[in-house]
């Protein structure tokens, strides 16, 4: 079945880039992967270096480390997303994009890109954006405001080509 292509044009804003990149980093679990390893390592070190201390004095460093880490990782992600959005000026070039059964095409004044559906590893829907994942290192940010009435058609195309949202 060859449905009509979904074509849209527009321009990303810095807010689009920050929100999209933050959501991508959350999806990748950036910052949390090594937290259990470091916490357990610190817990073991506390028991080895303080064998006669009370249970609380041996547990406290690991608990504090885990708690502080859980509190600051979202801040670090958001700051990383802001840095990315600030430094990746090419993201803000006006573009035209097209989705079809053949894949994804986009072009700006300085670049043309085609991706087959097999190049994408999944997708996710947010309140104001779709994210289209290219492996674990890249995501395309698709603002819903640029899609207008085509949002349902694009969601259905993603589900047919890539399966359920991540």
The DSSP code sequence of 118-135 is: GG--EEEE-SSEEEEEET
Give the model's pLDDT for residue 105: 96
| Mean pLDDT of each 10-residue bin along the chain, 166 residues long | 82 89 79 82 89 89 89 86 83 92 93 94 94 88 94 95 93
Rounded-to-integer distance, Cα 16 and Cα 128, Å: 8
C-alpha to C-alpha distances, 42 to 17, 39, 51, nearest whole angstrom: 36, 5, 14
The pTM for the full model equals 0.72
Query: Contact, 119 vs 133, CB < 8 A?
Result: no
In 21-163 the beta strands, taken as DSSP E runs, fall at: 95-100, 103-107, 112-115, 122-125, 129-134, 138-143
Give the model's pLDDT for residue 1: 47
Q: Where do the domains of the chain lie, and which CATH numbers do they carry?
A: 6-12+92-162 (2.30.29)
């Amino acid at each position: 079945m060859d449905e009509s292509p979904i074509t849209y044009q527009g321009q990303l804003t810095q807010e689009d880039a920050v929100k999209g990149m933050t959501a991508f980093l959350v999806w990748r679990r950036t910052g949390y992967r090594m937290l259990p390893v470091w916490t357990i390592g610190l817990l073991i070190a506390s028991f080895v270096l303080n064998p006669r201390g009370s249970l609380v004095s041996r547990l406290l460093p690991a608990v504090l480390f885990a708690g502080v880490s859980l509190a600051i990782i979202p801040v670090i992600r958001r700051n990383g997303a802001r840095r990315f959005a600030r430094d990746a000026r090419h993201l803000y070039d006006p573009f035209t994009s097209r989705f079809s059964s053949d894949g994804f095409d986009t072009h700006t004044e300085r670049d043309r890109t085609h991706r087959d559906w097999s190049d994408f590893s999944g997708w996710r829907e947010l309140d104001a954006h779709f994210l289209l994942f290219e492996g674990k290192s890249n995501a395309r940010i698709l603002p819903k405001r640029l899609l207008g009435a085509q949002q349902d058609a694009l969601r259905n195309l993603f589900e047919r080509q890539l399966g359920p949202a991540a």
